Each structure stands twice: as C-alpha cells, then as structure tokens.
Amino acid sequence: MFDDESLVSCAGLVPVMVLAERAGLSELIAERVSIDSLESTRVASATANPAGKLTSIIAGMAAGADCIDDLGVIRSAGMARLFTGVYAPATLGQFLREFTHGHTRQLAAVARAHLVGLARYADLLPGIQRRALIDIDSLLRPVYGHAKQGASFGHTKIGGRQVLRKGLSPLATTISTDSTHGTQGASGGAPVVAGIRLRAGKAGSARGAVSMVREAIAVARAAGATGEILVRGDSAFGIGPVVGACAKAGVEFSVALARHRTVDRAIGSVAEDAWTPVHYPGAVLDPDTGELISDAEVAEVPFTAFAATKHPVTARLIVRRVRDQARGDELFPVWRYHPFFTNTTEPTAAADITHRRHAIIETVFADLIDGPLAHLPSGRFAANSAWAICAQVTHNLLRAAGTLIGGKHAVARGATLRRHIVTIPARTTRPQRRPILHLPAHWPWVEHWNALWDNIFNVHEIGQIAETATGPPVAA
C-alpha cells in the first residue's frame, strides 16, 4: 500500500540542495532572471517566483528526473516536510514555456556564476591556478515528432559512420585541469560544464563557438585560473574566429585542422627522420635498442594558418601519423595523418597527448545523456534551452558534492552519485519538534554520505532548518 506519509525517497537532496544554496543559487536567480508576467501569453502566474521553480527543476534533475513529469518525484510523501516551495510538474512545464531567448541568456549567466560559487565552496577544480583546460564540442540529441521547434536534420556519427539524424544540437564547453587527467602527480577532480547552448539540429558545429569560448575563459578566470589556459577543439573549431578569440584573450589553443592542400603540403615537407614514436596504449620498448615500438609517430613544422584572411596566425602544426590497419598487406607503409594547430610550448609528443585528451568532453556528454539531457521534453525551443542549462547546473552541483565526499566519488559518474548519495530512502520524525531523518541501517555508502553532510553543515547547524525566501529550504 502506498500510504506512508513519513517516507522520503531522496534524502540526499537535503545536503545537495543546501550546497546549491551555499553557492548562491536562489540569490543569483532572483537577481538575474526576470520574467515579466505582463508579457505572459498563457498563464499569468506561471512566471511567478522563478527562483523557487528553477531550484525545483534542478532538485528533480539531481534526483534522476529526465522529463517534466518526472519532476514530481520531489513532491511525494515526506518530501514536503523537508522542502517548501516545491511546484507540481505541470506548473514547472508552464514556467519553462514562458522562456524566451533573452531569459535563457539570463539563466546561462546564473549557471556560470553558480559554477564560480561552487568552485569557491568546494575544491572543484584542483590545480586550476596552474593550468586550466577548456574543451568545446557539440552533439546532436535526437527528437521525434513534428512539434519540436528547431528540430532539423544534422550530421552525427553512429558506429563510426556519418549519418543524418533529426534532432537539436547543444554546443557545450567544459573546464578541467591536469588533476582531472592524473598528470603532474595530481589526482582527483572531474570536468565541469562552463556553458551549454541549444541550437537547431542543422546548425554548423562552430556556430556560436566564439562567444562560448570567450565566456568559458571568463568563467575559468573567475574560478581561480591565474596560470595557463588552454582551449582545445576538433577540426570543426579549427577556424580563424575561434583561434583569433583565443589569441585576443591571451590564452593558448590546440585545435585540429581539416585536411586541405595547404595542410597537406606542410605534412609532405616533414622529413622522414623527423618522425618520433609517441607512447600510446600498446606501445612497447625494443629489448635490444631500448627504443619505443609504436605505430603512432609525431612531428611538427612551423605553419601559418588562415593566410587568406585578414588575421593569419603562425604557430606549430603538429602531425600524428598512424599505420592504416585496414591495409596490412601493403608494399609500402600507408599512414593516416591527423594534424592539429597549437601555440603551446610543450614538447611535440607531450603536446599531442594533451591535445588527444580533448576527448574527455565526451565523458561529460555521456554523463548528461545518462541523466537530465536524456530528453529535450518540451515542444518549445526556448523551454528546451532552459532545460539544458538546468542540466548544466545539476551536473556541476553533483560534481561539487562528489568533490566534498572525496575519494572515488570525486570522479564518479552522475548516475553513481545519484544512486549512492541522493536517492537514499529515509523516514522523517519530529521528536520534541526536532526534525530527524532516519536512514537505512547498513547503508553501503554511509561513510561517504556522512562526509558530505559534515562538509556542508556546520556542527552548530545540525538539527536546525535552513530556510530561504525564494528557494526550497531543507531540513538540516
């Protein structure tokens, strides 16, 4: 029987949403998101209290919601004893449909400022003072039906093949550090989302990339990046405006270049003895000579890119070549060449490895797709844009919670954090009017949950209720 009013299915939302408030989520929304009720074309009350409604959406996403109806998970049974100002899914859907492009830009500013707040509250990006790595990439999220605004056919890869698929195309930037990659003796930390912008499915990959890169650089510096900043991207972002934006901002870049005649001539000018083996998985040392045996080799030449434009850039063209495994019986070696353009000062082999680690943004995409970005639930484009930005805030919030726990949870997937920390059942009681959460005995991750609780709450706050005027307050 579904009749217990004291049970809570997502007790982990208590410390997680308090963490969101400590980073100033409700205050930022109240300051920066302004939706005029007089402009509402549907329900006048739908625009009221944007802070409470947006925090409700983010809380639902943190609990595993990937569509508007799923947001009702935060209204069941004893959740009302922990949170106030929680709205029904229908109300939240009406609120999202009131968004316009301007409102999504306001919400994007909130997401950037909230990431900076999280980075200050938790050591979210260890080693960012030394070096920050900004990655930019796009993906295509499939949608179905005829009611999705902006849905159109765009190119994507499935099984290594280019196909046309109907959908919407988010463009995202992430920030990581050398600690994320486990280099320079550091460990811990995971990439966070600096920005996400929804576009039509047929939009080119680089559409909006320049402004996204500028915003990501500003966020990285506000989050504490006082040293080097490196912007990485694939060949879709190896264009003059993106490289120029990096040069103007005084940061380094490492972007792949599309193959054309000028690049091919530069590759052909590399002497055969200039190629150096690079240590990839599977490479071994020759027991006789001690040299590296690897099918991957790198070399570099000076190169002037975008020479036909008003702003040519001269830097290093680093080329990685790999034996074509599909041609095992060739008379002469057949190589596949992968050039990228960079102004870093790292050695050739190290610069190649650093560039290839750009693929870490794919893990962020996988995390988002396995969570709130599994669907773009509304028929209105601006509502889906707001949904994607809320997914960004939720991702960074869970990353900060994992960082406060430490250990393996600092780099755990969002699904793991939801299962271990957020969706933990509990029973609410109020002996002597003091709110108590009774969690399951022998919970496998009790030490990690207590670590999160202790790092968020001060010992003097335990047993009290943290109340806010705009967002959903939580029982401490």
Helix axes 209-222, 240-249, angle to 10 degrees: 20
For residue 326, the model assigns a pLDDT of 61
Distance CA 57, CA 64 (A): 11
Name the strand (E) or helix (H) holding 117.
Answer: helix 101-121
Model confidence band, residue 218 (pLDDT cutoffs 50, 70, 90): very high
Model confidence band, residue 41 (pLDDT cutoffs 50, 70, 90): low
- Give the C-alpha distances (Å, rounded to integers) separating 449 from 455, 465, 466: 10, 19, 19
Model confidence band, residue 311 (pLDDT cutoffs 50, 70, 90): confident
Tell me how crowded residue 317 is: count the other CB atoms within 10 A of its CB: 23
Give the mean pLDDT of 74-81.
86
Model confidence band, residue 46 (pLDDT cutoffs 50, 70, 90): confident
Distance CA 78, CA 56 (A): 16
Which of 6-10, 35-39, 361-365 has maximum average pLDDT?
361-365
Sign of the torsion formed by the C-alpha atoms of 337, 341, 345 and 351: negative
Share the mean pLDDT of the chain: 88
pLDDT in tens, 226-238: 999 999 999 999 9
Q: How many helices (H) and strands (E) does the chain have?
A: 14, 18
What the block records as the tokens of 321 is 């070549």
On whether the CB atoms of residues 224 and 124 are closer than 8 A, the answer is no
For residue 351, the model assigns a pLDDT of 94
